[in-house]
Amino acid sequence: MDSDDDFNSSQASQDEFMEDSGADFDDDSDLDMDDQDVGFESQDKDIKPTKQAYETEFKVFDPPQIQDSQDKQIAEVSNILVQPPEATAILLRHLRWNKERLIDQYMEKPEEVLENAGLGESSEANPPKITKVKGFMCDICCEDGSDLDTFAMKCNHRFCVDCYRQYLYTKIKDEGEAARIRCPGDKCNRVVDSKSLDLLVGDDLRDRYHELLTRTYVDDKENLRWCPAPNCVYAVECSVKDRELPRVVPTVHCDCGHYFCFGCSLNDHQPAPCGLVKKWLKKCEDDSETANWISANTKECPKCQSTIEKNGGCNHMTCRKCRNEFCWMCMGVWSEHGTSWYNCNRFEEKSGSEARDAQAKSRQSLERYLHYYNRYANHEQSAKLDKDIYLKTEKKMQQLQNSTGMSWIEVQYLDTASQALQQCRQTLKWTYAFAYYLARNNLTEIFEDNQKDLEMAVENLSEMFEKPIDQLQGLKVDMMDKTAYCNKRRIILLNDTAENLKQGNIFPSSLLFYWIINNATGNWEFIVSLT
């Protein structure tokens, strides 16, 4: 469902950046200052004071920082347990980096903890070394001879160095294991520590080993997650716990530019909570055949039935033949959109009497689903078309720029507008999954109004990209206004949904309490359980 295109979201789309910078761009003399401001703001985005209700605190870690925080914790716990760092690292990995639990358990039963982690008796004594042993025969390769290099850890399961190496190679390279490689000895559970490993293997395997250790560190820590963007090496730290996910949608923004959900690693799906997203995607997959025809790229004009192809993201369609203006999503007359009559986003429930028998009910439930799916799929599709048309426009603008000598910054507003469109359509898309599961209450109408306002703002901006290139420069101020308005509408919608997810009930502190109020998710009522 989510395309690779969604990964291209970029740094430049910070909402506040676009809102304050509108006026400055008109004056070329401010250019230098602008650059400084932008740099300053992006550096300090972690501590920006104005946190919106829908925003979540997070921190991005690069690989050296991940290594660093790992080393720090090892050093700290090593001091407390009075164990060497290698052994401490094994203990921490054994207890999945739960520092407090490790210290508690170790203080109570040190021998048992060491034994369970594969460390046997205290491992402070002699460091591991490679030796030759008289009368030795390797139980793996069956070679013997007193000139054979051999190795054993404290458990004394001795093998020739070649076999030991080959064993580690198979575990690391083929099986991708690192933190829990056991001694090759039959039934022995002692874990190979990194000091022993360093002694036995070459640089390339050692690098891979440490890479894998770092992987398991992030995998094991509940508050750390890899950025899922292809080839991205960053991890994100966020304190939102799994049990909080019905109440908060923790979208994070990786330094590579990708927005994703910390809860489920999918692309940003605000305002819909992870539980709904999972259910929705499952439903779309199950019902894909019924719904597929709708997202097709061509439709017939509702008036003259001639075939109409959609080539931009804008949903305001004009039939070439009969000039009929209509809405691509609901196929309704466009003139009714953008007025108080606008109800393209709302599904009108038929009254009970009309849907009495089972067949009618099932037809209505399909219609209801299709109403939301249609709009969901359409925003996804429109986002792609918006991007296509932006890329074409950008190319043409560059040509224009070269011929007229416009400066680079002056076409930046197109990029900014395009980013905003992508982000707003992503949000709109998920508002329809959200709405599908929403049970009507006094809040629904406000939500639908917010959705409608954002949708209109987006369509207005999207429409501008279909204007001829030579007119675009003259529309700069207008376009920047519309961009800022889109972002504003998006923030209003997200704040409203986020606040109402959080509010209503006291936030559950204990798991038991959480189970009791499970189905009530803030002020919203959903037709399904979120877990």
Partner 1 sequence: MSAGAKKRIMREYGECLADTPPGMKINFDEQNMTKWEVLLDGPDQSYYAGGHFKLEINFPNEYPFKPPVVAFKTKIYHPNVSNDDKGSMCLGLLRPDEWKPPNKVVAVLRLIQTLLIEPNIDDAIEPSIANEYKENRKEFEKSAKDWVKRYAK
Site residues (CB under 8 A) for partner 1? 139-143, 159, 162-163, 166-167, 170, 174-175, 182, 184-188
Binding mask 258-277 for Zn ion (x = CB under 5 A): x--x-xx---------x---
Find which of partner 1, Zn ion, none residue 186 binds, CB within 5 to 8 Å per kind: partner 1
Q: Which is nearer to Zn ion, 157 or 173 (CB)?
A: 157
Q: Which is nearer to partner 1, 15 or 139 (CB)?
A: 139
Chosen residue from 183, 235, 397, 424 binding Zn ion by CB under 5 A: 183
Tokens of 224: 């750390």
- Number of residues in the chain: 531
Give the CA distances from residue 509 to residues 57, 227, 404, 517, 520, in Å, rounded to whole numbers and listed in that order. Answer: 19, 28, 63, 11, 15
Answer whether 508's CB lies under 8 Å from 488's CB.
no
Tokens of 298: 């061509």
Q: Which is nearer to Zn ion, 232 or 406 (CB)?
A: 232
Answer whether 190's CB lies under 8 Å from 155's CB.
yes
Q: Which is nearer to partner 1, 142 or 527 (CB)?
A: 142
Interactions with Zn ion, residue window 227-256 (CB under 5 A): 227, 229, 232, 234, 254, 256
Chosen residue from 163, 172, 192, 491 binding Zn ion by CB under 5 A: 163
Q: Is 190 in the site for Zn ion (CB under 5 A)?
A: yes
State the nearest-atom distance from the C-beta of 389 to Zn ion, in Å: 20
- Spot the catalytic one: 183, 274, 301, 314: 314
Answer whether 290's CB lies under 8 Å from 39's CB.
no
Q: Which is nearer to partner 1, 125 or 142 (CB)?
A: 142
Q: Is 182 in the site for Zn ion (CB under 5 A)?
A: no
State the nearest-atom distance from the C-beta of 371 to Zn ion, in Å: 11
State the nearest-atom distance from the C-beta of 172 to partner 1, in Å: 12
Q: Is 477 in the site for Zn ion (CB under 5 A)?
A: no
Catalytic-residue membership of 314: yes
Find which of partner 1, Zn ion, none residue 167 binds, CB within 5 to 8 Å per kind: partner 1
Spatial distance between the Cα atoms of 314 and 322, rounded to a whole number of angstroms: 19
Q: Is 168 in the site for Zn ion (CB under 5 A)?
A: no
Q: Which is nearer to partner 1, 77 or 179 (CB)?
A: 179
Helices (H), 240-351: 274-286, 288-292
Find which of Zn ion, partner 1, none residue 232 binds, CB within 5 to 8 Å per kind: Zn ion
Find which of Zn ion, partner 1, none residue 37 binds, CB within 5 to 8 Å per kind: none
What DSSP state is assigned to residue 56?
-
Torsion angle of C-alpha atoms 468, 474, 475, 477, degrees rounded to 10: 160
Answer whether 7's CB lies under 8 Å from 387's CB.
no
In the block, residue with structure tokens 């979201």? 9
Spatial distance between the Cα atoms of 145 and 137, rounded to a whole number of angstroms: 7
Spatial distance between the Cα atoms of 352 and 329, rounded to a whole number of angstroms: 26
State the nearest-atom distance from the C-beta of 414 to Zn ion, in Å: 25
Q: Is 160 in the site for Zn ion (CB under 5 A)?
A: yes
Tokens of 528: 């399904």
* Residue 511, H or E segment: helix 511-516
438 backbone dihedrals φ, ψ, rounded to 5°: -80, 130
Distance of CA 67 to the CA centre of its chain: 22
Answer whether 75's CB lies under 8 Å from 67's CB.
no
Tokens of 17: 């950046």
State the nearest-atom distance from the C-beta of 152 to Zn ion, in Å: 7
Q: Which amino acid is at 124?
A: E
Q: Is 157 in the site for Zn ion (CB under 5 A)?
A: yes
State the nearest-atom distance from the C-beta of 139 to partner 1, in Å: 4
Q: Which residues contact 317 (CB under 8 A, 6 or more apart)?
A: 301, 308, 310, 325, 326, 327, 328, 334
Q: Which is nearer to partner 1, 157 or 283 (CB)?
A: 157
> How many positions of this chain bind Zn ion (CB under 5 A)?
34
Q: Is 210 in the site for Zn ion (CB under 5 A)?
A: no
Please report, as ranges, the residues that interact with Zn ion according to CB under 5 A.
138, 140-141, 155, 157, 160, 163, 183, 185, 188, 190, 227, 229, 232, 234, 254, 256, 258, 261, 263-264, 274, 301, 303-304, 319, 321-322, 324, 327, 329-330, 332, 344
Q: Which residues are catalytic?
A: 314
